[in-house]
Amino acid sequence: MSGVGALPGQPDRRVHQWPGCGRRRGRILQAEDPLLHEIPGAGAGFATTFGSLLADYTGEAVLLVPSARGDTSFHQKNGYSWDPANRTARVNLYDLAVRQIGNALAAASTGSRLAAILWHQGESDVPLTPPDVYRDRLDALITGLRDNFGEVPFILGQMVPEEIATGHPKYPGIAAVHATTPDRHSACAHVSGPDGMHNPGETIHYNSAGQREFGRAMFEAYRDLAGPSRSE
């Protein structure tokens, strides 16, 4: 989610970010990869592509709220956890995301609204969290976010297909939870990842072209849930 692909060219001036770290935290900035998540991202991600397409669709400026952290899981690891019920982690990333979204909405222009939540995670949970436990914690996260911000579209992205096929033997269990989440939640979509578009030499991350393709696919899923644009 935080991005690892090679950096693209000129950023889209309609797309901004609410940084999660750094000396300019608390200020609306231009969105450019790598985005400023809980720590700065490592490269290009899919959120900027999604943001540009959302700006086309709405005719409005877009504010991204980067809240990811690489190598994190629902299972507490290195002091981090995405589990909404975890009160012992040094950083509860669910709580951080709720604060960041709330602060971004408060700082944005009057009438701003949360358009969508993008979720791409699970690799670190594969060896640590049984699929049924992962499902319950993911469901709690979705429910909690919607309790705070309403039933906004929730878009899940598939882990890299080649990593699911050739990586740890427990990958298919977590991947199946992602794929069936729309069966448990309304206004929810699962997006298949592009084949053959992972980083050279490793299969856990999409390359920059894969990130862009993923962003387009996530937007198409969002558009199907949201309906016609205001101009249509």
* pLDDT score at 205: 93
Q: Which residues contact 153 (CB under 8 A, 6 or more apart)?
A: 115, 116, 117, 187, 188, 189, 222, 225, 226
The Cα–Cα gap between 218 and 52 comes to: 12
Q: Report which DSSP code applies to 129.
A: S
DSSP state of 37: S
150 has pLDDT over 90? yes
pLDDT in tens, 18-53: 999 999 999 999 999 999 999 888 788 999 999 999
pTM of the model: 0.94
Q: What is the pLDDT of residue 117?
A: 98
The torsion defined by the Cα of 113, 211, 4 and 103, in degrees rounded to 10, comes to 0
pLDDT of residue 97: 97
Predicted pLDDT of residue 177:
98
What percent of the chain lies above the pLDDT cut of 90? 87
How high is the pLDDT of residue 191? Answer: 98
pLDDT in tens, 160-215: 999 999 999 999 999 999 999 999 999 999 999 999 999 888 999 999 999 999 99
As a whole number, mean pLDDT of residues 129-133 equals: 98
The answer to whether 68 and 47 are in contact (CB under 8 A) is no
| Overall average pLDDT of the 66-77 stretch | 96
